[in-house]
Chain A
């Protein structure tokens, strides 16, 4: 996570507005972020926090009523916020920055064979002949774990299961050899066993191809297994970012505390599950102060008056909360998430999992 690593994408002070029935919805509010080559950055947030909207600006895929209201997005020296027409996006979208979405069925054409959909991308972006494209497509299908790829080349999407379809979507995305792969909740619609396979696949392919990943999710379990760095979003703002370990073991923003506290693994059976009171604020109104303040038990007077700046925790860890101001009273994170690793280890060892590496069955229990 050293600073010398090459920045592949720089977002500075970005704001995105949507025009909805005469009103302005401020979906992204002055967001800045850097993406380093070869890393996996997870963007975590609940629905409406703006995590999808933010990444849509990287491929010019905002809905028609949305616009970049300010700020810059620089990719390889190019200002993406200036690109308006689809034609200008052509070399970048899909080619250099590709996206895979939650529902694989909506990303595939139901009336064309799987193979032809992958081959088409190869012909178009890598300028190969049809025969070569077919070979490369089958190779990609093999790499993404499709059994009997050559036979299944001529099948249609409906003949594939959900997990297999998601593998195909990944294969299509990789066919252009993108530099950045945006994964927008790619496993949310899948079963847990399939989810585990797809996550492993993305990790393996990343090692092999060396692309950079932006992984959008609301599932902290998925984040823990895949992310190098994490950015936490709330109400159109990034409120904290740091390395995976920093966010899990040393979180600073009360919203991050609340998210971690709501993990069902931390709750005692029969007891109460930690819940965040209230709901996120409306993005149609201007938010004064810290957006999380009305739901925040640690909120101070200043949180309702002035928007906090980012405070530096370490070289890699920053949080947007007044609690880090030297004048703020010293506040500890909630007890529930202190010693998170010890607590999780306890829960996990109580659930046999440590034995699995020994080959499952022949392990000895206690």
Chain B
């Protein structure tokens, strides 16, 4: 499976820590995953799990304390040349959670969307720039007469479209979308998700989708990694993860998602994960590929047990 696809971004033994010496806090550790070209890869976890920190490290906003981030075959964390950095800043774009906090309130939509084009000189003439901005505006479903308005004149959903337009006009290879729909209403969420999908179909953009809402993630992702307390606990293709979750934390997370059906919801029990259930004192855990493409963080004893169960179910 993996050999067939081109790896766009690769994280190896990534560690991100804040502070030093006695105050050192390791926010993220032993993170290993690849993102393939053209896919939507989701990083799912609760608040404080480190999912946003990883996203920020990929964008170069947080520095890493160990391991490598490789983009298109070249390392992009640690010391890199200004030229390379400039190039990557165009190729990797970000969409933020709160569209009102991430847009300059004193700039017009025209300027907000054009800013990247100015910074990189990505247009031949003023005419060309206007054409590009108008085309993008249309793509995200806004009207040309809205070009000279300010962000506060728009609704939350429209502001998020401006954020998407600003990122995608740069023709990025990778877009890190950090909870891009969490702040939006249900009906608006669908519009924004469909828009993100459309760009992927038409331009082959790769998404790293950072989220906590598993029901939305299931709809949009090709593969999902579950993160808790700075570690990836499980990684698999979307349907595989939903159908055959192996790590108890993934099970707990799935069981907690509210089901929009009264009969099912009222009989359902959510399952609580106890992180002390593992015995990692001597038998140390690793990130193991338990089935092709399905990885779990476990020690040898757990690995043997999971494998036995999978075998009994006829899955391996």
Contacts and interface: CB of A to CB of B under 8 A. Distances in A.
A357 B158 CA distance: 43
A352 B242 contact: yes
B20 interface: no
Interface string A343-366: 011001011110011001100111
Contacts of A220: 186, 260
Contact of B256 (A193, A249, A275, A361): A193
A196 to B, nearest CB: 4
B89 interface: no
B260 A192 contact: no
Interface in A227-285: 227, 244-245, 248-249, 258-260, 262-265, 267, 269, 272-276, 279
Contacts of A219: 258
A269 B218 contact: yes
B265 interface: yes
A276 B157 CA distance: 12
Among B252, B257, B312, find the residue whose CB has the most chain A CB atoms closer than 10 A: B257
A208 interface: no
Contacts, number: 161
A275 B269 contact: no
B212 A192 contact: yes
B162 to A, nearest CB: 15
Contacts of B273: 193
Contact of B257 (A194, A221, A340): A221
B254 A353 contact: yes
A199 to B, nearest CB: 8
Contacts of B191: 275-276
Contact of B260 (A162, A263, A360): A263
A276 B191 CA distance: 8
A200 interface: yes
A191 B244 contact: no
Interface of A: 46-47, 162, 191-197, 199-200, 218-225, 227, 244-245, 248-249, 258-260, 262-265, 267, 269, 272-276, 279, 340-341, 344-345, 348, 350-353, 356-357, 360-361, 364-366
11 contacts: A193-B252, A193-B272, A221-B257, A245-B263, A264-B216, A264-B218, A344-B261, A350-B242, A353-B255, A356-B251, A364-B312
Interface of B: 46-47, 155-158, 185-191, 193-194, 197, 212-216, 218-219, 238-239, 242-245, 248, 251-266, 268-273, 309, 312-313, 315
